[in-house]
Structure 1
């Protein structure tokens, strides 16, 4: 893990919202040379190309010429930043939480364009001056804190039931971690699943979750999840319910959304607003309003006002705590954080006012098969390694040796990786082509060619060579050991022998180059612990009593998972628990 440790500080700085390069030094001449100046910054997925137009005294336009950022996340961030920088006439505006890598690259590019124009960067890079916040009181039926999938789904449900709902989102855009997800929904025990003829049950799902979570799940919360999936999935896709246009592809009980998680979140926002919910962006809830033990609203800070929001019920849907190093156990600091940069555990602090209980805060989801993008951000490669491992791609460590079953148990692979100083995905040309094709939504073939060129020195650490000996030298691994590892693997494939690590072998590694190696890391993201709730989604205090008026849904809730999550289950929990929170609050208000 030595190379990873050396890069950790830079990665954490990016996630904290720091620019990847300092602002250009101030020009003693305060007047700029009018014109349009082009520049390039490094975004999450690649270059962000800009044209910045200025007069002698002002920034008049920031035009994004080209970018590869994720729709609904990075694409939203660059638009938000461009507008803010022109409005406030400075690049010192706040970066967009949830897209801080994109934001940092965007800011760097604008700074460089302004430097070309001769701008005084003490002026055009300063924090903007903002008016003093006014005090404002709002009254509503329900306030939902957090604009991810669980919060928006709860707000939509309640608005459709005729209640006045205010949703608070502390960042400039909705979606949260769900916008970063694949967007796949499980449909266990739903009408769609049954009509598809796929056999599954809440009990079978429970056993799968317990198995992957090593029986560390909180059983009552897990059983709540398995019970609500079916009926709440039915509501999500029903045209008279959530009206989310999911579709079934392939076998099984999983359903996908065009545009993945980010597309689903944009659609959910549209439906929620059409239902009548009010959305306050850039507005952070700071504390609960408590009256004689009952929660009766929240206080919040927005761009223009400090709000006192009186409500009959409060739903906490603020996501996890992976970005807060005061909560994350130190053992995770050896790895890259790939979660949402707004996940600071806000609700965990807020519930202290009611002696709220939490569980399992020592666990966050770790995953192997991670590459590092040029921005320094970690990127999952599941789609790529899935192709390579079904062919002849293998993992080797710093000794040039295989160390695990590459496509076997994720947990076991991760534990094996933790014992290494470093590891690489070794591929021949056929594997390399298949891997990169599967990663096409993240980067292009041209990017891969640039990264594997001899003169490339940045991230990812991705090397190509004509021979195994040459590749070994570039990786700083023993050449003879590497050649022996490849020979042993090929011999097992040819002989039809059982693999020493239990992998089902298919094809041999080519005897002649070109060969490639991509450094692979471990990342962590989703919080697996969180707030304790009962079957009615009510927050519990440390005496295991329900706090009147206070509910929670989504990742902020602890106990559904153990120490590792089941793929798609966290997104499914977020969506279906949001529906459930809306349903139980609606029923409670109707009484």
Structure 2
């Protein structure tokens, strides 16, 4: 009976065209449904809306319809990334360093649009296929590594002096960490400061730097900075010099650029190109070319070529090392990194070819007063807390208690925060409005965002809660309600009675006894590298024997020692810009001899 069943089964298989020796077949390639598809995803500052047009087999257009990304950073990265995805027909292209959150948002939106079109996501997410790199040799007077403030400024200065300059930048856009900065320049000893009648001097600035850095700075580097900041500032703002349109208003301590650091970098890029410098983007410097102890050029790898760039002088301005966990001490991993994602310490590796010296690599700048954006990125809130600490905004910990002078010494506040499990900025309605206005005026977030974030049904970042009573707010924060009420009562009593604050804060107004209350979780971030390469007073890189390496210079964050274990507010952007001028000046003078 069993034999009969098997025979019948084989007969049926034969009749139906089946075979016991089946061959493996491949699925036909998925075809997309032609059309234009819309999608939205979260970027750094808000939603990124795209329209993606496809045929059956390829992407024909990626259009960013609307976004709220930072001008000069995300706004520059989105079109670059869209072009690369279109060029290589994949969302598997590299994200734009310095705009990784914006990049991730755009990729997510495009992926969703492709999914709607029925695309083969394995195919359209694959790593891009690039052709074989050609070998190319360039000759220049000066080659600059890094397209941030220091690199662009030094390249601009030397190009303006008539030298042939090549700048290589490993990311698809210039600006670096400086595009993320506030953009203000300290003006010590400048003509503008003198005209404003502001009392300041190189010695006074030196003392401020040393005090902020707890006297752990490298004194000769500090003195070098304070000696050239005035004349170099004058050059930056003069029409015949840098022609950077800083606003000639204010007290004289510092001057701002409309559009902040991002705006300043866009203008500097324009100046640089107008001066005739050649800029190679997506080009990673890989090694120094050394001949008999002197640096005579670099090797670099671009998208389409391996470059040998011969030069009479090389300026290192590739930024810090905060994104490289092989260099950053483990103690910092407890905090979120808010610096540039391209800061991998590339120059630290390159200078090994000349036995280059470094100092203070164990230090990076930490800062309190940090909120977490919906993207997960840490964001400074200095302008917001600066407003409410003049009013009645206070910080409370997980116990519902104050723990430090909110607007006092940054270092002391940070040390106190490190002792907490968590902490919150507590605000009444008036403070909440002032905080949000200060932040949205600087375009950190949009005016309508806080209402969304403080809604009861919102579950993402930032952790921002609102309530009609302190008891209700305490429940949302998981802090003791009675302790929180007692903290507010004690603060108000001190204000009303004129009693000195237990933490030394100058008290002004009370916290409202009725109305809405709000709390925003605050944390610590780290960013700027405080250590780096050793230089002399001619911006020349030193070897471990403290001898200048012929042909090799450095400027900006890549240099170590100007700051101690904490930076002085506003000084790092000023150092980047003015040290870039200084490197350009000394290199131009050396080439003229």
1:203 maps to 2:203: yes
Residue in 1 aligned with 2:444?
442
Q: Is the 8 A contact 1:298 1:309 kept in 2?
A: yes
Inter-partner Cα distance in structure 1 for 2:581 and 2:534: 18
Alpha-carbon deviations, 1:334-387, whole Å to 9, x = none?
001000000000000000000000001111111000000010000000111111
Residue in 1 aligned with 2:382?
382
1:467 maps to 2:461: no
Residue in 1 aligned with 2:539?
537
Residue in 2 aligned with 1:513?
515
The DSSP-based 3-state class of the residue aligned with 2:448 is helix
Q: Is the 8 A contact 1:52 1:110 kept in 2?
A: yes
1:137 maps to 2:107: no
The DSSP-based 3-state class of the residue aligned with 1:445 is coil
Q: Is the 8 A contact 1:248 1:254 kept in 2?
A: no
The DSSP-based 3-state class of the residue aligned with 2:109 is helix
Residue in 2 aligned with 1:150?
150
Q: 1:568 aligns with which of 562, 567, 570?
A: 570
The offset of 1:534, in angstroms, is: 0.2
- Correspondence 1:304-343 to 2 at 5 A: 304-343=304-343
Q: Is the 8 A contact 1:468 1:513 kept in 2?
A: no
The offset of 1:249, in angstroms, is: 3.2
Inter-partner Cα distance in structure 2 for 1:160 and 1:67: 36
Inter-partner Cα distance in structure 1 for 2:253 and 2:435: 27
Q: CA RMSD in A?
A: 1.0
1:99 maps to 2:99: yes
The DSSP-based 3-state class of the residue aligned with 1:63 is strand
1:121 maps to 2:121: yes
Change (3 A) 1:115 1:320: same
Inter-partner Cα distance in structure 2 for 1:272 and 1:110: 34
Q: Is the 8 A contact 1:467 1:512 kept in 2?
A: yes
1:556 maps to 2:573: no
1:289 maps to 2:256: no
Inter-partner Cα distance in structure 2 for 1:53 and 1:503: 58
The DSSP-based 3-state class of the residue aligned with 1:584 is helix
Alpha-carbon deviations, 1:375-422, whole Å to 9, x = none?
000000011111111111100000000000001111110010000000
Q: Is the 8 A contact 1:233 1:576 kept in 2?
A: yes
Alpha-carbon deviations, 1:484-540, whole Å to 9, x = none?
111111111111111100111111111113111000000010001000000000000
The DSSP-based 3-state class of the residue aligned with 1:157 is helix
Inter-partner Cα distance in structure 1 for 2:454 and 2:249: 35
Residue in 1 aligned with 2:75?
75
Q: 1:524 aligns with which of 518, 523, 526?
A: 526
Alpha-carbon deviations, 1:243-273, whole Å to 9, x = none?
1111133213211111110111111011111
Inter-partner Cα distance in structure 1 for 2:572 and 2:134: 38
Any unmatched runs of 5+ in structure 2?
1-26
1:256 maps to 2:247: no
Residue in 2 aligned with 1:218?
218
Q: Is the 8 A contact 2:187 2:252 kept in 1?
A: no
1:371 maps to 2:377: no
Change (3 A) 1:509 1:138: same
The offset of 1:28, in angstroms, is: 7.7
Return the index of the structure with the highest Cα Rg.
2
The offset of 1:318, in angstroms, is: 0.4
The offset of 1:186, in angstroms, is: 1.0
Residue in 2 aligned with 1:3?
none
How many residues in Structure 1 have an aligned counterpart in Structure 2? 565
Inter-partner Cα distance in structure 2 for 1:234 and 1:406: 36
Q: Is the 8 A contact 1:69 1:75 kept in 2?
A: yes
Given the two structures, how large is their TM-score scaled by the length of structure 2?
0.94
Inter-partner Cα distance in structure 2 for 1:400 and 1:423: 9
Inter-partner Cα distance in structure 2 for 1:463 and 1:513: 14
The offset of 1:239, in angstroms, is: 1.1
Q: Is the 8 A contact 1:213 1:564 kept in 2?
A: yes
Inter-partner Cα distance in structure 1 for 2:37 and 2:396: 46
Inter-partner Cα distance in structure 1 for 2:135 and 2:187: 45
Q: Is the 8 A contact 1:144 1:315 kept in 2?
A: yes
Residue in 2 aligned with 1:278?
278
Large movers: runs of 4+ above 3 Å: none
Q: Is the 8 A contact 2:428 2:516 kept in 1?
A: yes
Inter-partner Cα distance in structure 1 for 2:116 and 2:278: 43
Inter-partner Cα distance in structure 1 for 2:35 and 2:214: 61
The DSSP-based 3-state class of the residue aligned with 2:462 is coil
